[in-house]
Structure 1
Amino acid sequence: MRKLLFAAGLFALLAGQASAQTVGVSLVSFDINFQTLLREGIQKRATEVGADVQFEDAQNDSGKQLDQVRNFIASGVDAIIVTLVDTSASQAITAAAEEAGIPLVYVNLAPQDLSKLPEKQAYVGSDETESGTLSAFEACKILRSEGKAKGVNGYIIIGSLSHQAALQRTKDVEDIVATDMCNFIKIREKQSSDWAREKSLNLVTNWLSSGGVPDVIFANNDESALGAILALKAANISMKDVVVVGVDATADALSSMKAGELDATVFQNANAQGGGGLDVALKLVKGEKVDKVNYVPFELVNLKNIDEYVGKN
């Protein structure tokens, strides 16, 4: 009887191992803060559902990312998740996965061919027309409340010139400052920081050394916003004199808000994007029907509601 029970238990264990799905994940870069949060969201959900996940760092190289996808296909993974380095590189990735018949889910950055994704492929992310709009409008309201509606100098820190989310967030800002309510803001400069805090620090330092005096800085992400704040503080500029807004609602950003430095950010739910991407991938493996586009809403974070978002990213 004991032998039978042992055999049954061993069979169940082996069956469980055999049924575990393997998902290959290619991330933009392990060095980008929000990509780390996405990775954690994917891993957390994988642990909950018993999936095996293999992460690869594309190191901000679209060619390397395509090679990683091809390697996933060659190794026989059950599904692939990609956070794109460059949205224009999606067609080659889409084609490779389709030809291999392996489910593919794009997370965070929508592929260029979103409207033409084949069967077994989908996107999980957030609508970027919301992100820059929410942060820019909040900055505009803050400036008006401070009595600065007669005219101020605005600067935009672009995440990456090849990243569609960064380009859309920048357009969002430009659309807001073109409205009657916010057209007192004049954009003086806009340059890329590659999403990085240190590069943003250097960028804003250069602006300041060239005579640029920002009244408001619109950063495409929190890391860039925090780099800008470091540069302003190093130049002995009071944070009360400059409005700085970002996107992501990272832990560091919320700490900066509580310290009276960052004025606002926008919560981008890394856990929902990453975990949701894994769920969609596993459903596709099982042959279940999923929506081609799965949006996770952005949410404005300011001093009035900041406590609701502590610990979420």
Structure 2
Amino acid sequence: MKFKSRFFIASLILLNFSCGQSGKDETKDQGTGKKIVIGATMLSMQNEFIVNVTDEMEAKASSLGVELIVVDAERSALKQVEQVESFIAQGVNAIIMNPCEVEASSPAVKLAIDAKIPIINVNSETAAAPTAFVGSDDEESARIAMKYIAEKLGGKGNVLMMHGYMGQAAQIKRDKGAKEILKANPGIKLLAEQTAEWDRAKAMSLTENWIQSFGGQVNAIFAQNDEMGMGAVKALEAAGLKNKVIVVSIDAIPDALQGVKKGILDATVFQNAAEQGGKAVEIAVKLAKGEAAEKQVIIPFQLVTKDNVAKFIK
């Protein structure tokens, strides 16, 4: 009997320990008792900044014990809407969307809301209001970048502006912020503006075309993201013009930080991918559990130059 008693007690201890471990490893839906599942549709997994946001989302989901299903919208708003429809059909507990476009991705928000599934927009916005938004003020990022250019040019010179994917919130807002500063500095002329769709190779090709058209008239290039900024740098270097043209971009991806450190990229504007990704998942989990969560989280941008780049390089 003593042996049986000890065996029974030991079994209870093991069972208790096992249950405790399970609680630490998984965050469960309080209604169904099942592991929480979050669906995430991202603008493009060919974009380094978006990959950085996604990496942090996956790390945060793992640490919170929830399942994260990530799909690539491949810059197609139509595909993104279909992906959200699929998540709804799968019965996910929450959806995170990195919108492809302000208007064309909005039906996805409405579908989720109608299905009573919380949807969190991360990094970019839609015309339709989601359950929550996590990101940064894109107008401010462009103001920071263009102010730096204006100061370096002493308020006089010719600038080119490289746009991101047309119709996306970041492109629209960065255009607006940059033009606010240009309006305040009438001595700076916008020679040309065109999209390179957030893409490095397209930005290099566009810069080569601009060099053919404007030659030595160009004093600065503002690229709305680092991928395009680094493409512009490569074209200017090949033409022997980099020392004569200021290039500033946004995001502070690793390549851009190294570019600032080496002096080939004049400045970038740090956007906190880790904070955006992590916070989006935290809010998604809270909403999936029926808890209160912030409806809007705005994470500040920071100017990065050669003087302070060391603190941003990991």
TM-score normalised to the size of structure 1? 0.90
Q: Which residue of 1 aligns with 2:209?
A: 206
Q: State the shift of 1:303 in Å.
A: 1.8
Matches of 1:28 and 1:246 in 2, distance apart? 19
Matches of 1:91 and 1:187 in 2, distance apart? 32
Matches of 1:103 and 1:168 in 2, distance apart? 25
Matches of 1:58 and 1:64 in 2, distance apart? 6
Query: Can you give the 5+ residue segments of structure 2 that lack an aligned partner in the other structure?
Result: 1-8, 29-34
Please point out which of 138, 155, 158 is paired with 2:148. Answer: 138
Please point out which of 5, 10, 13 is paired with 1:2. Answer: 10
Matches of 2:149 and 2:65 in 1, distance apart? 43
- Once the two structures are superposed, the pairs formed by residues 1-313 of structure 1 within 5 Å of their partners are 1-12=9-20, 17=26, 19=28, 20-114=35-129, 117=130, 121-144=131-154, 149=155, 151-179=156-184, 182-213=185-216, 214-237=218-241, 239-311=242-314
Q: State the shift of 1:96 in Å.
A: 1.0
Q: 1:143 to 1:211 in 2, by over 3 A?
A: closer
Q: State the shift of 1:140 in Å.
A: 0.9
Matches of 2:160 and 2:308 in 1, distance apart? 26
Matches of 1:235 and 1:164 in 2, distance apart? 33
Matches of 1:306 and 1:160 in 2, distance apart? 27
Query: Can you give the 5+ residue segments of structure 1 that lack an aligned partner in the other structure?
Result: none
Q: State the shift of 1:242 in Å.
A: 0.7
Q: State the shift of 1:10 in Å.
A: 4.2
Matches of 2:229 and 2:79 in 1, distance apart? 29
The structure that has the greater radius of gyration is 2
Letter in 2 for 1:59: E
Matches of 2:309 and 2:90 in 1, distance apart? 44
Q: State the shift of 1:90 in Å.
A: 3.6
Partner-residue secondary structure (3-state), 1:165? helix
Letter in 1 for 2:49: F
Q: Percent identity?
A: 33
Please say if residues 30 and 36 of structure 1, whose CA atoms lie closer than 8 Å, have aligned partners that are also in contact. yes
Partner-residue secondary structure (3-state), 1:29? coil
Please say if residues 263 and 306 of structure 2, whose CA atoms lie closer than 8 Å, have aligned partners that are also in contact. no
Partner-residue secondary structure (3-state), 2:214? coil
Please say if residues 139 and 264 of structure 1, whose CA atoms lie closer than 8 Å, have aligned partners that are also in contact. no
Q: State the shift of 1:3 in Å.
A: 3.0
TM-score normalised to the size of structure 2? 0.90
Q: 1:278 to 1:18 in 2, by over 3 A?
A: closer
Which deviates the most, 93-102 or 264-273?
Answer: 93-102
Q: State the shift of 1:155 in Å.
A: 0.2
Matches of 1:212 and 1:162 in 2, distance apart? 30
Partner-residue secondary structure (3-state), 2:147? helix
Please say if residues 207 and 232 of structure 2, whose CA atoms lie closer than 8 Å, have aligned partners that are also in contact. yes
Q: Tell me the number of residue pairs that the alignment of Structure 1 and Structure 2 aligns.
A: 298
